[in-house]
Structure 1
Amino acid sequence: MNSTELLNWYDLHARELPWRVSPAARVAGQLPDPYRIWLSEIMLQQTTVAAVKAYFLKFTAAWPTVVDLAAAEDADVMAAWAGLGYYARARNLLKCARVIVAEHGGQFPANRAALQNLPGIGPYTSAAIAAIAFDHAETVVDGNVERVMARLFDLHAPLPQAKGALTSYAASLTPPARPGDYAQAVMDLGATICTPKSPRCALCPWHDICAARKAGTAAELPKKLPKVKKPTRFGTAYVARRSDGAVLLEQRPERGLLGGMLGWPGSEWRETPLDAIPPIQADWVEAPGEVRHTFTHFHLRLRVMVAQVDAPQTNQTFTAAENFRPADLPTVMRKIWSMAEAET
């Protein structure tokens, strides 16, 4: 079993992605930009390619190099990230860019171990950058690669216990030549041919050697343990507006969910609803219905309280109407705003 068939397939069928250097361009001598590979890999964590493309283009237009990103205002980067989720990634993005500029002269280290010492870069991301950007023979294993390996070797042990075995299989196939293209090829195969449902085995370059296809078990793999039911948490959000259009926003703590992002004042999110304390004295009116949002580990249900306030009433800092852009808010905060707007 070798990688030749897959690389031949990739040369013909590689996806066109804004951060990728195509196989033909690689042959012509174009090298991948480590900054673009790093940025795309951070964005792609827990997120789909389709969702990332527009964000990637927006980021690289605003900050074309890691030096540009390192010099950016935190608030601007967090606003540009809004809606992409998992906001710790954006905070670590800035930290990492600044470390690269301050300690590495604005150049990404090519060594996987050095990459993994940078903020926000773990084992998978360091392997992906080293392989794709620097063509090092590192083993790159994401969800697509796990699925391909489980089927190729007909492995029925469930995830996540099977991760070690699947990584070993992937390592055994990683070639010394063109490892960067190979890593992208396996991911493309999983994304376009060896898909979670209804894999298109007849089109697969590994059709003849796939053990699960021969056994008729491809559609069943990879096996996964039953999902644990997500708990539901409850809370209250407060949307206060002045007659001049200014709104009362707060910056969430750096640590924790939605850390460092702007949002509406409100209660803690608990599995048992708490009595909420409004941020200011006002005639609060509850908007009909509730905001529902799902995070990775829980479902959220929020009451939304709305109030119109007079300018001199509070010493709280309001955000002027001309500086308020709902699109800069995280998705759940945009949902709250939409419900509040419907109430007025």
Structure 2
Amino acid sequence: MAHYKSKKITQLREQLLAWYDRSARDLPWRLPPAQGLKGQRPDPYAVWLSEIMLQQTGVATVKTYYVAFINRFPTVQDLAKAPLDDVLALWAGLGYYRRAHHLHAAAKDILARGGVPTQPQTLQKIQGIGPYTAAAIAAIAFDQPVVPVDGNVERVLSRLWLIEAILPAAKPIFWHEAQAWMSTHRPGDFAQALMDLGATICTPRTPACNLCPWQSSCGASKQSRQGEFPKKQVNKKKPTRYGTSWVHIDPDGVLVTKRAHSGLLGGMLEVPSTSWGDDPSSDPCLGPVDLPKGVTWLDGGYIDHVFTHFALRVRVFSAYSPKSLPVVGYQRLGLDALAGAALPSLMHKIIVAGRSILAAQSIGLDQV
């Protein structure tokens, strides 16, 4: 690296750390910068838990789930010994449910290892921890001189240095650029400062450049080209899949079953549903053969839901039985227990649609 750039990076690091000392976000898993300066370190379990939750999920959403999780499972021992169903129930609504499976399995692994590993290479051997998460945990929890690179950091560096390489193919370039920022001087605070800068100042749209500690050095700001960076490959339109769900309600609650542990939404509860396919023309409006007989199914139309790699359209049918009918292969979940159950947000949306169908027809109005 040229001497000039090395000297410039040292200056930029100090500017960013000074800004972080004044402006760090108050997050429940984070020590304030002043505490770090006094030699205190955050709980590695808390850092690991928060980083897993923050994968694909925003800080505002994670804060509430994190507090509930840490209250229910205050130590890695508590998490490792808990039934998986309890973990999934607490994760319900957070999305990307494979993370909850990995979290539970990783807790047992961490317990067997005697604690959260300190080195990025070892951390990546634990389920659910990739290169970014490993670097984030190592830097924040253990002050290892590594720089985690996520979308926020890619955006900041691309604007700062006018990096024209196109993502996601250019990710190795950004990891290489990050090596220049490695330092033994407050690496944990520097990593979190970069995260905060990208999340609160150097945002994807309308960045607050006038508040940025790096404005005078930022190539994109000087050329008024902030909106051009980072360069990204144009995404293809997501495919749409289709399915049908049946919301059956009686005085004991709504019929649900548990999905297989493998695959999307693994181990979570769902209402009776078809598999999801590419054909929108299928119309199994009579319902699965194992549902209660002699009930009238009302067609509530479609609800839409978006996953990372595809969009989903689900046709919702709903029925109410004034008394509990024999049923095999399902359990009844009381309507007052829906909020605390291991129901993904998709199923909550489907049940809400089903109840609305019945309420619109004044069917079982005192129940639904």
| Alignment map for 1:156-167 (pairs within 5 Å) | 156-167=164-175
Q: Shift in Å at residue 281 of structure 1?
A: 4.4
Question: Equivalents in 2 of 1:136, 1:312: separation in Å?
Answer: 60
Q: Shift in Å at residue 48 of structure 1?
A: 0.5
Residue pair 2:239, 2:309 contacting (<8 A) in 1 also: yes
| Partner SS, residue 173 of structure 1 | coil
| Partner SS, residue 196 of structure 1 | coil
Question: Equivalents in 2 of 1:195, 1:153: separation in Å?
Answer: 16
Structure 1 unaligned blocks of 5 or more: none
Q: Shift in Å at residue 275 of structure 1?
A: 4.7
Q: Shift in Å at residue 326 of structure 1?
A: 4.1
Distance change (3 Å), C-alpha of 1:320 and 1:183: closer
- The structure 1 residue matched to 2:204, chosen from 189, 196, 202, is 196
Equivalences, count? 341
Please state if 1:294 is matched with 2:306. Answer: yes
- The structure 1 residue matched to 2:28, chosen from 18, 25, 42, is 18
RMSD (CA atoms): 1.7
Question: Equivalents in 2 of 1:184, 1:56: separation in Å?
Answer: 18
Question: Equivalents in 2 of 1:322, 1:161: separation in Å?
Answer: 47
| 2:344 counterpart residue number | 330
Q: Shift in Å at residue 209 of structure 1?
A: 1.9
Q: Shift in Å at residue 317 of structure 1?
A: 3.6
Q: Shift in Å at residue 225 of structure 1?
A: 1.2
Question: Equivalents in 1 of 2:236, 2:172: separation in Å?
Answer: 22
- The structure 2 residue matched to 1:30, chosen from 21, 31, 40, is 40
Q: Deviations over 1:259-318 (max 9, x none)?
A: 110111211111103354514242341332211111111111111122335535333342
Q: Which amino acid aligns with 1:280?
A: L
| 2:113 counterpart residue number | 104
Question: Equivalents in 2 of 1:264, 1:304: separation in Å?
Answer: 10
| 2:365 counterpart residue number | none
Structure 2 unaligned blocks of 5 or more: 1-7, 359-368
Distance change (3 Å), C-alpha of 1:295 and 1:284: farther
Please state if 1:280 is matched with 2:291. Answer: yes
| 2:104 counterpart residue number | 94
Q: Which amino acid aligns with 2:42?
A: P
Q: Deviations over 1:184-240 (max 9, x none)?
A: 111111111111112222222122222222232222211111111011111101122
Question: Equivalents in 1 of 2:259, 2:119: separation in Å?
Answer: 35
| 2:156 counterpart residue number | 148
Instruction: State TM-score, norm by structure 1.
Output: 0.94
| Alignment map for 1:113-262 (pairs within 5 Å) | 113-242=121-250, 244-262=251-269
Distance change (3 Å), C-alpha of 1:5 and 1:285: same
Q: Which amino acid aligns with 2:135?
A: A
Q: Shift in Å at residue 176 of structure 1?
A: 2.0
Please state if 1:269 is matched with 2:272. Answer: no
Distance change (3 Å), C-alpha of 1:259 and 1:48: same
Question: Equivalents in 1 of 2:333, 2:148: separation in Å?
Answer: 47
Question: Equivalents in 1 of 2:305, 2:356: separation in Å?
Answer: 18
Q: Shift in Å at residue 135 of structure 1?
A: 0.4
Question: Equivalents in 2 of 1:169, 1:129: separation in Å?
Answer: 20
Residue pair 2:146, 2:183 contacting (<8 A) in 1 also: no
Q: Shift in Å at residue 171 of structure 1?
A: 1.6
Please state if 1:62 is matched with 2:72. Answer: yes
Of stretches 160-169 and 276-285 in structure 1, the one that deviates more from structure 2 is 276-285
Q: Which amino acid aligns with 1:258?
A: L
Q: Which amino acid aligns with 1:291?
A: I
Residue pair 1:154, 1:217 contacting (<8 A) in 2 also: no
Q: Shift in Å at residue 154 of structure 1?
A: 0.4
- The structure 1 residue matched to 2:90, chosen from 48, 64, 80, is 80
Residue pair 2:44, 2:141 contacting (<8 A) in 1 also: yes
Q: Deviations over 1:167-190 (max 9, x none)?
A: 222221222211111111111111
Residue pair 1:326, 1:337 contacting (<8 A) in 2 also: no
Residue pair 2:93, 2:344 contacting (<8 A) in 1 also: yes
Distance change (3 Å), C-alpha of 1:275 and 1:185: same
Q: Which amino acid aligns with 1:59?
A: F
| Partner SS, residue 233 of structure 1 | strand
Residue pair 1:327, 1:334 contacting (<8 A) in 2 also: no
Q: Shift in Å at residue 26 of structure 1?
A: 1.1
Residue pair 2:140, 2:191 contacting (<8 A) in 1 also: yes
| 2:363 counterpart residue number | none
Residue pair 2:256, 2:333 contacting (<8 A) in 1 also: no
- The structure 2 residue matched to 1:339, chosen from 350, 353, 366, is 353
Q: Shift in Å at residue 327 of structure 1?
A: 4.7
| 2:318 counterpart residue number | 306
Question: Equivalents in 2 of 1:250, 1:230: separation in Å?
Answer: 28
Q: Which amino acid aligns with 2:257?
A: E
| Partner SS, residue 238 of structure 1 | strand
Q: Which amino acid aligns with 1:41?
A: E
Of stretches 302-311 and 8-17 in structure 1, the one that deviates more from structure 2 is 302-311
Q: Which amino acid aligns with 2:313?
A: R
Question: Equivalents in 2 of 1:44, 1:19: separation in Å?
Answer: 12
Q: Shift in Å at residue 166 of structure 1?
A: 1.6
